[in-house]
A and B are shown apart, each in its own frame.
Chain A
Amino acid sequence: MPLRRNGLKIGDIEDRPDGGMGSTMVRGSGEGPHTIDWRRSLAARNARTRGRRHHPVFRIRDELSPRWRMSLTLVGLVVPLLIWLFMATSGSATVLVPSPGAALESIGRMWNDGTLTGDVWASFRRILIGYAISMAIAVVLGVLMGSFRSAESFLEAPIAFMRYVPATALVPLMLFWLGIDETPKIALIVIGSVFFNVLMVADVVRNVPKELISAAYTLGAGRLRVLRQVILPHSTPGIIDVARINLAAAWAILVVAELLAAEEGLAFRIVRAQRFRQIDDMFAILIIFGIIGVATDLSLRWFRNRAAPWARP
């Protein structure tokens, strides 16, 4: 049928009241008084084409060819590098910026003398232990809060309160209570991230469709089975995403803890570099932070897709 081929619908057809057989008109294609749609602007009607299609780069929520995506990603990496190069070479006396080459050289030197591995491991270990504890607490409390209104009523207020107490403000207290070894640093990572994690995990759990829970109950599942075989699997990808998003907050609090008291660690190394005016080293550590961040982010994404292929976009 030519009607459909032309992208028209039945509603576009009008019967002319004066006509008989064959006088059906299609809206917008003739000159008669019944067929002119006055809402359309004159210019649009006089154009040789109908509608407007923008370049893919400027379309809202449309697919982009891999070539365009790759090129734009490349531009996004090259532009900051160029800005850095410009700042390094333009040579201001007050703001000293090392060249990218000098920063890389510095990374190489720290790698060779072994401090880099030691520092990365020291910091990463604190994050690993602290954040694992934080996520374990968050999963238990978050699942309870997202599943039981009673747990929600009971826990919401104290957690909301603690979430607004800046973890950095607890650094002196933790050092006072727990000394200056590993314990206060790990405790700070837990405190700095756990309240965010709990509330966000609870939100993920609340998003489990009610139908799935109802279906499980009518299939004979008890509450424990519903929790373990419906709520947990459905929440798994969301919980991994929560862990991924709040990990940055854990690093931030670790840095503060290391700045004040540590003999090893990436943030400790920055303070030391500052003391000896080694700007190359400071930049090198910042780059290492970024690399670790991106690497953990990517691996958590990979893990999420691996653990829950059904939820892959």
Chain B
Amino acid sequence: MAAQTIIVRPEKLEVRGLVKRYPGRRSRPGTLAVDGIDLTVRAGELVCIVGASGCGKSTLLNIIGGLEEPTEGAATVDGHRVVGPGPDRGMVFQGYSLFPWQTVRENVEFGLKAAGVPKSRRPARVDALLTVMGLGVWADQLPRALSGGMRQRVAIARALAPEPDVLLLDEPFGALDAQTKRAMQDHLLEVWRRTRATVVMVTHDVEEAIYLSSRVYVLSSHPGRVAAEVPVPFPDDRTPRIKRTPEFGELVEQVEAILIDNR
């Protein structure tokens, strides 16, 4: 590629001094799930948050999504403090979050209805999303007829429909088999390149985090803190081939070492 233009992209999402403490019951002490997390995501970035299970990474994402309240600190989107859930922050969960009584099309349409998009303008947008996600032939099926990978594609399409400022993914491929997972990763990269959405994804899979993102936040466990922020030096139009390069392997080892040191 010739002469790259350097675009200074504004901060889309900021998390400052985030603390989440769950109150204890009776004599039991509470748990400190998240202890002072700071992070910044610029517009159009794909950032992964990686950590062992129980490190508070889902709590962090839920707070950004507005589904949980922080004990201290705050998350801001475009400078506005998050106080509750909203269509500006689309979320995809690990699984089982599609409405089982609605067809694929109706699921994707849900956010458009909620946003008050007139009925006449909905089909075109739904169809466009279904095509991007490769779901066209499944449009009129119920979720139960779909495989796990297909369901997660619907969940991503549904979250993208209201055109969120930030897309939050909570271990979206965690329940998928290895082959489907790899296909979904490439699919996500392609959708991200096409839509230039700002994406924050939580995962415990180090390889996945490095393969997908431009930066990786490594969280420590009990309580969750940012142990390291690792820049990923691969281009946006990467292919699975980079996974076999020595640089990729070294980066994986480096992040895994940080995780082990901060257990």
The chain A residues found within 8 Å of chain B, CB to CB, are 209, 211-212, 214-222, 225, 229-230, 233-234, 308, 310-311
Residues from chain B with a CB closer than 8 A to the CB of A220 are: 86-87, 111, 114-115, 162
6 further A-B contacts with Cβ under 8 Å, apart from A217-B67, A220-B86, are A215-B158, A218-B87, A218-B168, A221-B114, A233-B101, A234-B99
Residues from chain A with a CB closer than 8 A to the CB of B159 are: 218-219
CA of A233 to CA of B100 in the docked complex: distance in angstroms? 9
CA of A147 to CA of B30 in the docked complex: distance in angstroms? 26
The chain B residues found within 8 Å of chain A, CB to CB, are 62, 65-67, 84-87, 89-91, 93, 96-101, 110-111, 114-115, 142, 144, 155, 158-159, 161-162, 168
B97 and A211: CB pair below 8 A? Answer: yes
B170 to chain A, nearest CB (A): 10
Residues from chain B with a CB closer than 8 A to the CB of A311 are: 100-101
Contact among A217, A233, A234, A310 with B85 in the assembled complex (CB-CB below 8 Å): A217
- Residue contacts A-B, CB under 8 angstroms, 8 given: A212-B97, A212-B99, A215-B158, A217-B86, A219-B158, A234-B99, A234-B100, A310-B101
B91 and A214: CB pair below 8 A? Answer: yes
Residues from chain B with a CB closer than 8 A to the CB of A217 are: 66-67, 84-86
B86 and A218: CB pair below 8 A? Answer: yes
CA of A78 to CA of B215 in the docked complex: distance in angstroms? 73
Contact among A218, A221, A233, A310 with B91 in the assembled complex (CB-CB below 8 Å): A218
B100 and A214: CB pair below 8 A? Answer: no
A215 and B93: CB pair below 8 A? Answer: yes
CA of A142 to CA of B84 in the docked complex: distance in angstroms? 26
Residues from chain A with a CB closer than 8 A to the CB of B62 are: 214
A233 and B99: CB pair below 8 A? Answer: yes
Top 3 A-B pairs, shortest CB-CB distance: A220-B87, A219-B111, A217-B85
Residues from chain A with a CB closer than 8 A to the CB of B86 are: 217-218, 220
A219 and B162: CB pair below 8 A? Answer: yes
B90 and A218: CB pair below 8 A? Answer: yes
B99, B101, B161 pick with most chain A CB within 10 angstroms = B101
